[in-house]
Amino acid sequence: MIDPRRLRILRAVADHRTVTAAAAALYLTPSAVSQQLSALEQETGHTLLLRGGKGVRLTPAGEILLTHTHAMLARLERAESELAAYADGTTGAVTVAAFATGITELVAPALRALADGHPGIGIRVRDAEGDESLPLVLDGEADIAVAVEYRGAPGPDDPRLFRVPLHAEPFDAVLPATHPLGGLARIELAALADSDWIGPHPGNPCHDMVVRAGERAGFTPRLVHASDDFHAHVALAAAGAGVALVPRSALRGTELRGAVVRPVSGPAATRRVFAAVRRGAEDHPLFRPVLDALGTAATALGTTS
């Protein structure tokens, strides 16, 4: 008989690619993880992992077992959801991991709505960049992620996650008020090819979006200044340090003195935002009202999914 707890460890190692990282995510020691994996190999009669200098990778037998692991863990999540519904489990805490603008634009309005319609559900908010929240959900440190599409993000058909599209928003160009193109109603991105650029740090999903937008326009943005705070982007542009692409919602309420904001003509960056829970948990009586409230908040933004 295969121990389901060991399957969770197998998936964590597959997600994190090293025993040490998986152990940290599961709050176990690396030796405990290694012992559990060895026991799992004994249970199955197969070598499941190949260990190398750069981490571990699954053997073909390990890949087969991982596929069944995704399905089994989703069934367990669904069983817990149905049991909670049977017990009318509408009282409890839900941890939501979201990026800063997502907290402002989506999570906070959802929290207000839940306070009226579902007072028994308490929300714990955790600030996490768009690519950090999904691992938190998979590792069980958060229940719901509000995340953005990025290169390498788990897709809608990922067997580990259930996704709910929320909204999509364009990036607008932010320029110094003195910029020669500042008087135009719209900006062709290619016209900014020779400018110094302000952008998020590498690793932030929006950094990848800015770089890809430039590449589609025929150039690689010369990123001189780096900050993950979009208000800082606007302040630097106002100081004449360069130009930036900023998600439209991040500009709401921002002081624009010394800077101008212009929509971009042609293909440009778009931030697609979605919520995600572990697959099988989408109808949990605590999680479903939160997902619905996030969807209502997204609709109120007036942007499309």
Number of folded domains in the chain? 3
Domain identity same for 66 and 23: yes
pLDDT given for residue 87 in this prediction: 67
If you search the block for the tokens 């941890």, which residue do you land on?
Answer: 95
Same domain flag for 240 and 183? yes
What's the rounded mean pLDDT across residues 116-145?
A: 91
Same domain for 68 and 216: no
Would the pLDDT of 122 be above 80? yes
Question: Is 71 a residue whose pLDDT tops 60?
Answer: yes
CB–CB of 127/116 below 8 Å?
no
pLDDT computed for residue 77 by the predictor = 84
**Rounded to 5 degrees, what angle do the CA atoms 283, 305, 276 make?**
35
Structure tokens at 255: 């002081």
Q: Has residue 296 got a pLDDT over 90? A: yes
Query: 175 and 237 in contact (C-beta within 8 Å)?
Result: yes
In this structure, are 17 and 161 located in the same domain?
no
List, for residues 39-48, the tens digit of each pLDDT value. 998 888 899 9
Q: 25 or 221: whose pLDDT is higher? A: 221
Contact 146, 166 (CB under 8 A): yes
Beta strands (DSSP E) in 252-296 are 259-262, 264-265, 270-278
Question: Residue 43 carries which side chain, given as an amino acid letter?
Answer: E
What is the H or E stretch that residue 123 is in?
strand 121-127
Q: Do 176 and 260 fall within a single domain?
A: yes
Q: Which tokens is 299 given? A: 């609709």
Biggest CA pair distance of the chain: 71
Look up the domain containing 126 and give its range: 89-166+272-301
